[in-house]
Amino acid sequence: MTSTADQLFRPADAVINWARKNSLWPFFFGLSCCFVEEATAWGPRYDIARFGSEVFRGSPRQADVLIVSGTMFKKIAPVALQLYEQMSDPKWVISMGSCSNSGGMYDVYSVVQGSDQILPVDVYIPGCPPRPEAVFEGLMLLQKKIDAGERPTRPVLHLPGGSQGGREDYLVDGRTKARDTRGPGYAGIPIRGTAATEPRFAGSRAEVLWTPPAPGLTLSREQEVLAADLAAVYGDEARLAAGPDAPGDMPTFTVAPSRIADVLAHLKHKAPTRFERLEDLTAIDETARKTPVGHEATAVYTLTSLSRATMVRLLCPLQSRDATLPTATGVWSAANWYEREAAEMFGLRFDGHPDPRRLLTHRDWVSHPLRKDYEGRATNMPAFTREDCARLAPVDAAEILGERAKDGDYLLNFGPHHYATHGIIRFVMALRGERIKAMGIDIGYHHRGVEKIGERQTWHQFIPYTDRVDYLSGIANNLSYVTAVEKLAGIEVPPRAAYARVMLSELFRLSNHLMYFGTFLQDLGMMSPIFYALREREMVLDIIETVTGGRLHPSWLRLGGLAADLPEGWKEQVEAFVKIFPARLKEYHAGVTKNPIVKARTKGVGGITAAEATDRGVTGPNLRAAGVSWDRRKAMPYGAYADFDFDVPTRQNGDCYDRYLVRMDEMRESLRIIKQAAARMPEGRHLSADARYCLPQKDAALRDIESLIHHFVNVTRGPRLPSGMAYAATEAPRGEQGYFVVSDGGCHAYRMRIRTPGFANVQALPHIIEGLSIADCVAVLASYDYILPDIDR
């Protein structure tokens, strides 16, 4: 009888299960924020080794547990499947984070609604992101499942029956998996009402609400000179937008599409105010405007003058969404990727572009996602299946390099899944020996369609998404977004909120740079610094947790202020940290900065000149390491930064060592700012009293009915903002992060554009890396500090 035989095998089952569950070898498939917490679980405070899983494996061959952490994208899903299939038997799968479990908050065209649609998941870890402790809960649950559910002796002895290695099937859309956004159990019950999605929420009373017009702009003397100069050279083909609808953040010119390249070149080389940098290039699909504007699309160019600390915007009205514009790549090399992105997202075409391929989406993607008639929600689209994985498999390396790969070159894929890429990005290298002759980059494996989501969430609802754009910088992201919206609507921020924002942003800069310090040196082969850095980072996160209640993504800023007042005890904690951290910094310098091996590996490696960096749109510490003393906090102060005393650290060579040193110095300066902010924290409101756009302070909402009504309206339907546009950039830890918000007088953004530092920074990488060896390439990537959701958005 089988049952007797099974009884016989019980002890052997128990022994095998005991051995397996206590020595799980996790293989990370780290996609986003969750992975940071997963990696933290490996750090000194949490120490994952206690759970029988020593080190994260980077290769599927060496592992038996695949931990998928974070958002699964349609472009990366085939890679995840390939890795799963390359694992040896037996194997289990853990899905970590709400994004990985179900798409989470990213219900958008590029996201797979749950990794269980293509992989058989054994354990789900909920949360966004789950705390490091949750990783242990997940592991322990898997251990229990192995112990209780698996009968491995029979398969081990090649007998029929038995079981091992978790589930083997995966969920099938519509049969075993529900895509109803209301959760399971609603199948068959029709969705009531209308979805509150852009552009209009039918029947909304916001339509009849009056709002004061957006604040206008008074031109300075310099800006008037510039306008006169453009008028003299281009006449009516470059008109200054004027009147009540003119954007209030910077002078805006309407330029004839055929002349745009000339105007850009003029502004860069000849105009009375020189604009050295192409800050951003994007487009707006105008077809769904409440009040039609008379053309189908607008191309938007934003320029920054580093020498005069001023900005300008050029608008190109296009009669058709398929219209052709002359390329700006001849003026700025940075325009390359920006134009490719605008082309794939909106369908525009750029005449003379050197490489007009899709950038973020897969080669075989159909249509242009940021057009207004493109489906925004993945739950409304056909399910992504295993068959789609075959269809959207990553393209061949030779295709990414194109003609630049020569005969005899060895093509190496560096990523998308690799330890040293710091996220899901793919570098393709044509090698001769160890020398990199040519390098191509394929991005978009982490594209979460944030801009599309921004056009569907209300002005307040979008704040949590901004946290996740650069998942290591939390509140620094919020700040860029709320600053832009506040500029658009003219919202005043009370001083207490402004100071608290500065303090929290700087704490996140510290947290980010600490992570940088650790990972940079880990990539160079030093193991200890990451443990020290994680130790200090936890102290920073503890402060952030005391103040905001969250770790990575507090979503704690609001339009006009903060979500809540600073809690009791925040100051003591900040002061304690400020006291001990300088000594820790000194320790870092003693152990690392003078280390001859670190110097040998980074000094003179991967340098970039100031001119080249500016031309390519490199920002932040990477730009300052090249000798450009440009920091938004100093040059064009926003928020309360003008009140603070700090220096802008710079270096001269722009090589790996300098990039590292600039960040080390920035930690010291951030600490100075935090110290000042804590000492001088003003009293008063933490939210603006402007009830039209801002939430009332919570205690007021609980006490009087007026505030309660405003709270209700602004939380549910959202405030109605005046029509207009505004761009605001802040100095985020990795560089300049700008939000360009366009409102057509609704409760949602009409167009939400995010200018991220990573996009431009990474675009410059081939210029830096080509000609180096592979080992040096790793040093450059590690010293460069980019993050994937910020590049792909």
Query: Given the rule CB under 8 A, which residues bind other proteins?
Result: 59-61, 79-80, 82-83, 85-86, 88-90, 155-158, 393-394, 396-398, 410-411, 413-418, 426, 432-435
> Cβ closer to other proteins: 38 or 279?
38
In the complex, least distance from residue 87 CB atom to other proteins, rounded to whole angstroms: 8
Q: Which CA distances in Å does 157 have to 146, 162, 164, 178, 211?
A: 18, 10, 12, 39, 76
Can you give 375-431 as a three-state secondary structure string?
CCCHHHCCCCCHHHHHHCCCCCHHHHHHHHCCCCCEEEEECCCCHHHCCCCEEEEEE
> Cβ closer to other proteins: 153 or 697?
153
Strands 324-326 and 349-351, bridge-based pairing: parallel
Give the residues across from 315 on adjacent strands: 254, 300
> Cβ closer to other proteins: 393 or 564?
393
Instruction: Please list, in sequence order, all residues whose beta carbon lies within 8 angstroms of the beta carbon of residue 717, skipping any fewer than 6 positions away.
Output: 196, 201, 204, 205, 206, 458, 747
In the complex, least distance from residue 304 CB atom to other proteins, rounded to whole angstroms: 36
In the complex, least distance from residue 19 CB atom to other proteins, rounded to whole angstroms: 12
In the complex, least distance from residue 353 CB atom to other proteins, rounded to whole angstroms: 26
In the complex, least distance from residue 102 CB atom to other proteins, rounded to whole angstroms: 23
Reported as type and span, the H/E element at residue 580 is: helix 570-588
> Cβ closer to other proteins: 417 or 710?
417
> Cβ closer to other proteins: 83 or 625?
83
Can you give 277-319 as a three-state secondary structure string?
EEEEEEEEECCCCCCCCCCCEEEEEEEEECCCCEEEEEEEEEC
137, two tokens? 């809960």
In the complex, least distance from residue 164 CB atom to other proteins, rounded to whole angstroms: 8
In the complex, least distance from residue 92 CB atom to other proteins, rounded to whole angstroms: 15
Give the residues across from 501 on adjacent strands: none
8 A C-beta contact, residue 384 and residue 77 = yes
Reported as type and span, the H/E element at residue 659 is: helix 656-679
Query: By three-state DSSP, how is residue 320 classified?
Result: coil
> Cβ closer to other proteins: 86 or 220?
86
In the complex, least distance from residue 9 CB atom to other proteins, rounded to whole angstroms: 14
In the complex, least distance from residue 432 CB atom to other proteins, rounded to whole angstroms: 5
Query: By three-state DSSP, how is residue 248 classified?
Result: coil
Give the residues across from 561 on adjacent strands: 558, 687
Angle between the N-to-C axes of helices 656-679 and 774-784, in degrees from 0 to 180, rounded to the nearest 10: 10
Q: Which CA distances in Å does 788 have to 33, 58, 76, 448?
A: 10, 18, 13, 10
> Cβ closer to other proteins: 155 or 621?
155
In the complex, least distance from residue 339 CB atom to other proteins, rounded to whole angstroms: 27
In the complex, least distance from residue 90 CB atom to other proteins, rounded to whole angstroms: 8
Query: Could you give the CA distance from residue 731 to residue 663 in angstroms, rounded to a whole number?
Result: 13
Q: Which CA distances in Å does 436 have to 138, 397, 766?
A: 41, 14, 10
> Cβ closer to other proteins: 73 or 532?
73
| 34 has binding-site annotation | yes
Give the residues across from 743 on adjacent strands: 724
> Cβ closer to other proteins: 161 or 569?
161
Query: Could you give the CA distance from residue 740 to residue 68 in angstroms, rounded to a whole number?
Result: 33
Query: Could you give the CA distance from residue 382 to residue 680 in angstroms, rounded to a whole number?
Result: 55
> Cβ closer to other proteins: 365 or 374?
365
| Lookup result for tokens 């994952």 | 48
> Cβ closer to other proteins: 390 or 590?
390
> Cβ closer to other proteins: 115 or 723?
115
Instruction: Please list, in sequence order, all residues whose beta carbon lies within 8 angstroms of the beta carbon of residue 426, skipping any fewer than 6 positions away.
Output: 394, 400, 413, 414, 415, 416, 441, 442, 443, 445
8 A C-beta contact, residue 317 and residue 298 = yes
> Cβ closer to other proteins: 79 or 524?
79
DSSP 81-145: HHHHHHSPSS-EEEEESHHHHH-TT--STTB-S-GGGTS--SEEE-SSSPPHHHHHHHHHHHHHH
In the complex, least distance from residue 414 CB atom to other proteins, rounded to whole angstroms: 7
Query: By three-state DSSP, how is residue 583 classified?
Result: helix
In the complex, least distance from residue 17 CB atom to other proteins, rounded to whole angstroms: 15
8 A C-beta contact, residue 212 and residue 416 = no
> Cβ closer to other proteins: 431 or 708?
431
Angle between the N-to-C axes of helices 495-523 and 528-548, in degrees from 0 to 180, rounded to the nearest 10: 160
In the complex, least distance from residue 20 CB atom to other proteins, rounded to whole angstroms: 13
Q: Which long-range contacts (CB under 8 A, 24 or more apart) does 22-25 make?
A: 22/52, 22/143, 23/52, 23/53, 24/51, 24/52, 24/53, 24/64, 24/65, 24/92, 24/139, 24/142, 24/143, 25/53, 25/54, 25/57, 25/62, 25/63, 25/64, 25/65
8 A C-beta contact, residue 114 and residue 136 = no
> Cβ closer to other proteins: 247 or 416?
416
| 128 has binding-site annotation | yes
Q: Which CA distances in Å does 470 have to 29, 395, 450, 506, 792?
A: 18, 27, 12, 15, 10
CA 225 from centroid of its chain's CA atoms: 38
Give the residues across from 754 on adjacent strands: 739
Instruction: Please count the CA atoms within 13 angstroms of the CA of 113 that sit on its side-chain side.
Output: 22
CA 507 from centroid of its chain's CA atoms: 18
| Lookup result for tokens 């940088």 | 516
In the complex, least distance from residue 394 CB atom to other proteins, rounded to whole angstroms: 5
Please give the annotated binding residues, written as ranges.
33-34, 99, 128
Please give the annotated binding residues for [4Fe-4S] cluster, written as ranges.
33-34, 99, 128
